Structure 1
Amino acid sequence: MFRPPFDSQARPQSPRSAYYHAAQDVVDLLSSSAIALRWLVRLRWHAVAGTALTVGVAARGLRLDLPVVPLLALVVLTGASNLLLTLWLRRHPVVKSHHLGAVLALDSLLLTGLLALSGGPENPFAMLYLVHVAMAALVLGPRWTLSLALLAVVGPVLLFQFHVPLRELGDGTGSVLSGPGRVVGTWVAFSLTVMSVSLMVARVSAALRDRQEALVRAQLLASRAEKLASLSTLAAGAAHELGTPLGTIAIAANELDVLIQEEPQEALEDARLIRDQVERCRDILERMSARAGQTYGEAPEQTTTSAVLERMREELTSGELARVRVEESVSVALYFPPRGLVQVLVNLVRNALHASEATQSPVLVRVMGDGGRTRFVVEDRGTGIPRDVLERVGEPFFTTKPAGQGMGLGLFLGQTFAELCGGRLELASEEGLGTRATLELPCRKGPAHVAA
């Protein structure tokens, strides 16, 4: 076995996408409001646990005269609303901005109630209003942000008029939120606010970046699917339009062959040459139509890697097979369109043979299966691909072969086939050392296996 060294020049392709379908619109499922609301649900569970613990410590440990029952009632209300919200999200994955805004407004009102029962404006945890406003500013529009900001401003004003002072048990005079106690409470509240806002911004921003990347990949796959559909239409039209004249030429050549049986051998050979070339043109058109459309029109079938490799050998000529080495450690069950998969492998092998034609070095085809994925690896010791060319490999109609030796569609169709099957096609190359093409597909079982 040989493995030419490779550097990091790899072309990562799109990850898993729906089988046989171009990527659908994922804006609703991955909207910023949906991302933020799912994160807010987790944050609210932490808030419920933290608030209940704080009430218990303050009442029992610090011996504060708190209205424990009303406080715990608000905590239970928060937990119940979060449970309902969790169940609602399971049935309604599409989240709009007003859903998130309503939950943030509810949390602002619940926070106002908790603060009113635990010191009002003297409670340093009033800083937590900023968490709701910050999330609205990050995800929602200016209308919701302004509304929540008004709640954060009006809430403390109401607390000045309506609140229960914090006092120690048995002490009817001074507030406990003064001196060192207030300093410590302010520091704790400030720390929680900073950590909550920082974590929220980091998590939501990262999720939004992932969403944007997913949208870009979906648009790329949809664009590839559209181009492939256009190629399929073009190929089918060409085959239809050229089929009739080629058939006529074939009939004429056959008649000519009969008429000149007793004529000079040279004329007979010319007639047979016409017939052979017509058949060759017909075969080329059929293959062109199949290559362009088989990823859409061909149904998936249950097969194995061994069967795919055998069909690949049948497609290659004896001269090509003489330079191909196949290594298969284990036969893996597959459920894909067999013609499409075989054609992709044949294109990769022929590209490798062409790249190593000068050295006549062998081309290695390896099959590996692990972690629910099957990999077909085609390696050559050819001239390699320059970095600037590698960046364009896979574009439709881009080819480095001489005119008449390639249409520049093989890798484009291979990448599209892999993506529509939930896999990917990667190329890694280094000039002067060779190229490695890796076709990675998920291990799927057909309906018969699933039913069994």
Structure 2
Amino acid sequence: MQDHDIPRLATIRRRLALLRWWLIGALTLATLAGPTLLDIALPLAPLLSLLALLAVFNLVIQVWGGNEEFRPVDLAGQLAVDLVAMGVLLYLTGGATNPLISLLLLPVAVSAFSLPARWVAGLALLSIGIYSLLMLYSLPLPVADVARATRLHLTGMWLTFVVSVLLLAWFVTRMTQTLRERDIELAAAREDALRDAQVVALGQLAAGAAHELGTPLATMNVLAGELANDPRLPEDAHADLELLRRQIGICKEIVGGLTQKAGIERAGQLQAANVWLENLLARWRTLWPNASCALEITSPGTPPRLIPEAAIEQAITNLLNNAAKIAPQQIRVLLGWNGKTLTIAVHDRGPGFPPEVLRRCGAEPLPPVAEGSGIGLWLTRAAVERRGGRLRLENRDGGVATVELPLGESA
């Protein structure tokens, strides 16, 4: 049995218990009303005792059975008890001549939708054996009038057919819905696994590229230093060279950290959310010196504390980069929280997200454009969802990208 079958069997157990309660109630009502309405003497004491035992069995399963892992053998055992209980009930009420004999099909039908073939075969053989014994051994119902007995039998057959159809339709419909929901969950899990595999592959490529970029960056830094010391260099070029050296230094820090970020995360210290985000924005401003970005706190009280994670920091940086490429002026970063969620929104004054970007919302990479490779939102969504969060995109006086992270998790 696969691990994902356990919750499905647990759902079947709950529905089977409910189905059993319905049958117990209907059979108890029929047992009590039969002698009066049908003028047939029934062995009330054995019948009611059997139904009481079946009710106790069902109650025990519901109260204590839910605390343990439910396996196919447990469900098969319950269905076998149902078959034996129905066999004893039919033995006391006419055996194979009782129109309720068709109810023996219900446990077999449930097993066919729920259990492996070997258990279905075993329950089918058990039901056939019980039916065969009831043809030989049973307590006959005392009905003297043959014509009346025929009418009662036909009416009972119709009633049994109606009950069987209603119960099977209800159970099969519920089972089909459960299977459909499981298929949707499995498809989503496969998509998440594929996306995570792509992210890991991209991380490995990034780590390799970082290793190869180290030498060219070091060469560029040496050349920039030599140019700065050249007395023939015009005075107005020194400021540009200084900016170039700072940018090269930032690139070296990023490249040097890529190999660490692609491996095992280093344990960090708790930081207040506003302090962590302000530090992140300070580092980002050195990459975008011409951009204007302000942090706004939208929630009252003390900011929550968290452990920074490189993946989430990169996700926020991706959103800031996208905003700066579209509208570098008046970028707003809104930080808010409640008892369960930390919210970070990046708001730009640009034309907003195109409809295709809103539709995909980072679910898959976009085609490369002049401003970027098209994977920033995809990586952002992957990082956020791996931490149990959510990414939302909307157009509201510009573009707004919102990251929601559960509190209690690292950020």
Normalised-by-shorter TM-score class: 0.7 to 0.9
Amino acid at match of 1:195: L
TM-score (norm 1): 0.71
1:368 is displaced (CA, Å) by 5.3
Task: Confirm or deny: 8 A CA contact 2:315 2:384 kept in the other structure.
Answer: no
Answering whether residue 208 of structure 2 is matched by residue 229 of structure 1, we say no
Q: Which residue of 1 aligns with 2:278?
A: 310
Shift in alpha-carbon separation, 1:237–1:210, aligned structure 2, 3 A: same
1:132 is displaced (CA, Å) by 2.1
Deviations 1:353-384 (A, max 9, x none): 43346xx6x55544555684444344445344
Q: How does 1:244-255 map to 2 (within 5 A)?
A: 246-247=217-218, 250=221, 254=225
1:202 is displaced (CA, Å) by 1.4
Answering whether residue 160 of structure 2 is matched by residue 194 of structure 1, we say no
**Cα separation, 1, equivalents of 2:104 and 2:384:** 49
Answering whether residue 131 of structure 2 is matched by residue 165 of structure 1, we say no
**Cα separation, 1, equivalents of 2:277 and 2:224:** 38
Shift in alpha-carbon separation, 1:419–1:276, aligned structure 2, 3 A: closer
Deviations 1:398-450 (A, max 9, x none): 45541xx43434222221222221122233469xx85443323333379xxxx
Amino acid at match of 2:99: P
Q: How many residues align?
A: 402
Deviations 1:216-271 (A, max 9, x none): 222222222222323333333333343356446645765x369x56x323599597
Answering whether residue 381 of structure 2 is matched by residue 418 of structure 1, we say no
SS at match of 2:6: coil
Answering whether residue 101 of structure 2 is matched by residue 126 of structure 1, we say yes
Amino acid at match of 2:135: F
Q: Which residue of 2 aligns with 1:36?
A: 12
Shift in alpha-carbon separation, 1:92–1:226, aligned structure 2, 3 A: same
Q: Which residue of 2 aligns with 1:78?
A: 54
1:281 is displaced (CA, Å) by 3.1
Shift in alpha-carbon separation, 1:240–1:396, aligned structure 2, 3 A: farther
1:200 is displaced (CA, Å) by 0.7
1:215 is displaced (CA, Å) by 1.5
Shift in alpha-carbon separation, 1:319–1:49, aligned structure 2, 3 A: farther
Task: Confirm or deny: 8 A CA contact 1:302 1:445 kept in the other structure.
Answer: no
Amino acid at match of 1:114: L
Amino acid at match of 1:211: R
Task: Confirm or deny: 8 A CA contact 1:374 1:440 kept in the other structure.
Answer: yes
Task: Confirm or deny: 8 A CA contact 1:239 1:285 kept in the other structure.
Answer: yes
Shift in alpha-carbon separation, 1:319–1:72, aligned structure 2, 3 A: farther
Shift in alpha-carbon separation, 1:121–1:330, aligned structure 2, 3 A: farther
Q: Which residue of 1 aligns with 2:186?
A: 215
**Cα separation, 1, equivalents of 2:112 and 2:46:** 31
1:207 is displaced (CA, Å) by 1.3
Task: Confirm or deny: 8 A CA contact 1:120 1:163 kept in the other structure.
Answer: yes
**Cα separation, 2, equivalents of 1:345 and 1:271:** 29
SS at match of 1:441: strand
Shift in alpha-carbon separation, 1:177–1:137, aligned structure 2, 3 A: farther
Deviations 1:266-299 (A, max 9, x none): 5995976774454243134246557x648x6154
**Cα separation, 2, equivalents of 1:307 and 1:278:** 26
Amino acid at match of 1:132: P
Q: Which residue of 2 aligns with 1:4?
A: none
SS at match of 1:66: coil
Task: Confirm or deny: 8 A CA contact 2:297 2:336 kept in the other structure.
Answer: no
1:205 is displaced (CA, Å) by 1.3
Answering whether residue 100 of structure 2 is matched by residue 136 of structure 1, we say no
**Cα separation, 2, equivalents of 1:414 and 1:199:** 44
Q: Which residue of 1 aligns with 2:67?
A: 90
Shift in alpha-carbon separation, 1:153–1:211, aligned structure 2, 3 A: same
Answering whether residue 393 of structure 2 is matched by residue 427 of structure 1, we say yes
Answering whether residue 255 of structure 2 is matched by residue 285 of structure 1, we say yes
SS at match of 1:320: coil
More helix by share: 2
SS at match of 1:427: strand
Q: How does 1:354-373 map to 2 (within 5 A)?
A: 354-356=325-327, 362-363=330-331, 365-367=333-335, 369=337, 372-373=340-341
Answering whether residue 362 of structure 2 is matched by residue 394 of structure 1, we say yes
**Cα separation, 2, equivalents of 1:65 and 1:165:** 10
Task: Confirm or deny: 8 A CA contact 2:80 2:123 kept in the other structure.
Answer: yes
**Cα separation, 2, equivalents of 1:234 and 1:99:** 49
Deviations 1:343-362 (A, max 9, x none): 323322332343346xx6x5
**Cα separation, 1, equivalents of 2:244 and 2:399:** 39
Amino acid at match of 1:189: T
Shift in alpha-carbon separation, 1:392–1:76, aligned structure 2, 3 A: same
Shift in alpha-carbon separation, 1:439–1:37, aligned structure 2, 3 A: same
Gaps of 5+ in 1: 1-24, 447-452
Shift in alpha-carbon separation, 1:312–1:273, aligned structure 2, 3 A: closer
Which has the larger displacement, 263-272 or 45-54? Answer: 263-272
Answering whether residue 86 of structure 2 is matched by residue 115 of structure 1, we say no
Q: 1:265 aligns with which of 199, 216, 233?
A: 233
Amino acid at match of 2:362: G
Which has the larger displacement, 370-379 or 213-222? Answer: 370-379
TM-score (norm 2): 0.77
Which has the larger displacement, 390-399 or 203-212? Answer: 390-399
SS at match of 1:178: helix
Q: Which residue of 1 aligns with 2:298?
A: 328
Task: Confirm or deny: 8 A CA contact 2:278 2:295 kept in the other structure.
Answer: no
**Cα separation, 1, equivalents of 2:372 and 2:357:** 16
SS at match of 2:404: strand
1:162 is displaced (CA, Å) by 1.9
Deviations 1:166-191 (A, max 9, x none): 34xxxx74589736655654444333
Deviations 1:304-349 (A, max 9, x none): 5544543454344364335x57461345636453554343233223
Shift in alpha-carbon separation, 1:271–1:329, aligned structure 2, 3 A: closer
1:101 is displaced (CA, Å) by 3.5
Deviations 1:134-189 (A, max 9, x none): 2233334555445544544443343232222334xxxx745897366556544443
